[in-house]
Amino acid sequence: MSGMCSEQPARECRDFLILLISAFFIYTYNNIFMVVTPVLLVRMGGTDMIVGLQSTLFLAAAVILRFFFGPLADVRGRRFVMLLGSASFLLASVMLCHAGTVWQVVLLRLLQAVGLASYFPAASATAATCGGSGQKGQYIGILRMVASLSLMVGPVGALYIIQNYRYPLFFQGTAWLALLGMLPIFLISLKKAGPPQETNPREMNLRQRLNLWIFLQKCPLIISNTFAAALIYGILISFAVLFLKDETKISNPGYFFTLFSLGGILGNLGFGWLSDRWGRLPINSWSFLLLGGGIILFSIIPQVPLCFYPAGLFSGAGYFGSIAVLMAWMTEKAELNERTTALSLQQNALDMGIAAGSGMFGMLLAAVGNAAWLYGTLGMVWVGYAFIVSRYSGFRG
């Protein structure tokens, strides 16, 4: 980080460090509820259908809301939208302290979708702005590294608090996380996170900004690769633990995601840095190759238990590294005052890929019945896809 700061004005590094502090608390908050909400709903008497429904509603609401918050951030400023998102997280935690039914929890999950839809793309766009013209990939990679780190520590700590101190203290703790994520945002310079200085917001047509088809036309490969990477993540987040529990003797299958997150930290830094120097497309292909290789290793863990470790590391590095590269690539395709809108569209592709991956794999598993064979086939398909993408050397997204 010190090496980067020597190449960037002190103010930009200061803003980026403040953003990282805020993002760590907000990302930790979101990762905690991704893991804990199903546990909470089951404890309250919810069925598997309700657990699946809340996840679908949460992601669907975020997808729809981004069509509003992305353009709003480009018009009103990213700091305003990040404050709005963190405030929605804070309010949801306070209200969860008084929730007594399953459906109240599901409704409050929709309130949290406001935070997912608004804070995340605005934070990524701010990181890209801090990185300037030559270090977008590196800066977004570091921001994504913080997301990986939050996945390592957040759910484990939350489950410990729930087991030892129960839910009221847990909800209070998450409210503090949201507050700690909100306060640093006030310190970020308006130059980096405020409304575009070269544009008069009153003269901007918000309805025109909501028309995002131009980004689909400019960036089809970026969107499709984001969706493809998210498919794998959706499959792993839904079925990896179940596979390891049923097919192996690993005592705590949850450690797979610790390795996955550790690989993600390395992938975010490494692939983001490399893409700034060697180009987005070739490095994106390498990250897909690593992701596919990790899934192939995952499929043979029942036969070769030692593959548990490289499978987690490789798949995590490949997934998080590919997303960091693709986000940096997207910011290059968008004008400065369209950057959050573009990243909102990309985040929608990410969430839809996660949902589609989970649903698709569930249906395939019901039809085929052999999870190891499915994982192995899936890994080989992604390795092949990486080679196909790498052949489009003349295509720029």
Whether 363 maps to a domain, the answer reads yes
Last residue of a domain, one of 164, 194, 224: 194
Q: Which of the residues in the chain have pLDDT under 50?
A: 2, 6-7, 198-205, 207-211, 394-397
Please indicate, yes or no, if residue 202 is contained in any of the structural domains: no
Residues 11, 118 within the same domain: yes
Q: What is the CATH number of the domain that holds 179?
A: 1.20.1250.20
Residue with tokens 């259908």: 49
| Domain end call among 194, 220, 247 | 194
Confirm whether 114 is domain-assigned: yes
Q: What is the pLDDT of residue 299?
A: 95
Q: Are 19 and 148 within one domain?
A: yes
Position 151 scores a pLDDT of 82
Task: Give the three-class secondary structure for 266.
Answer: helix
Identify whether residues 109 and 82 lie together within a single domain: yes
368 in the same domain as 219: yes
pLDDT for 43 equals 85
**Structural domain includes residue 289:** yes
Which of 163, 194, 225 delimits the end of a domain?
Answer: 194
- How many residues are present in the chain? 397
Q: Strand, helix or coil at 33? A: helix
Q: Are residues 314 and 272 in the same domain?
A: yes
Q: Does residue 284 share a domain with residue 163?
A: no
What is the total count of domains within the chain?
Answer: 2
Q: Is residue 199 part of a domain?
A: no
Alpha carbons 323 and 365: distance in angstroms, whole number: 26
What pLDDT sits at residue 336?
60
Q: Are residues 301 and 354 in the same domain?
A: yes
Residue range(s) defining the domain that contains residue 159? 1-194
Same domain flag for 338 and 266: yes
Eight-class DSSP state of 7? T
Residue 64 located in a structural domain: yes
261 within a domain of the structure (yes/no): yes
Q: Residue 200 has what pLDDT?
A: 47
**CB within 8 A of 189, min separation 6: which ones?**
11, 15
Cβ atoms of 315 and 291 closer than 8 Å? yes
pLDDT the model gives residue 142 = 87
Q: Are residues 77 and 121 in the same domain?
A: yes
pLDDT at 159: 81
Same structural domain for residues 136 and 285? no
In a domain, 203, yes or no: no
Q: 228-267, pLDDT tens digit by residue? A: 999 998 888 777 877 887 888 887 777 888 899 899 888 9
Do 186 and 253 lie in one domain? The reply is no
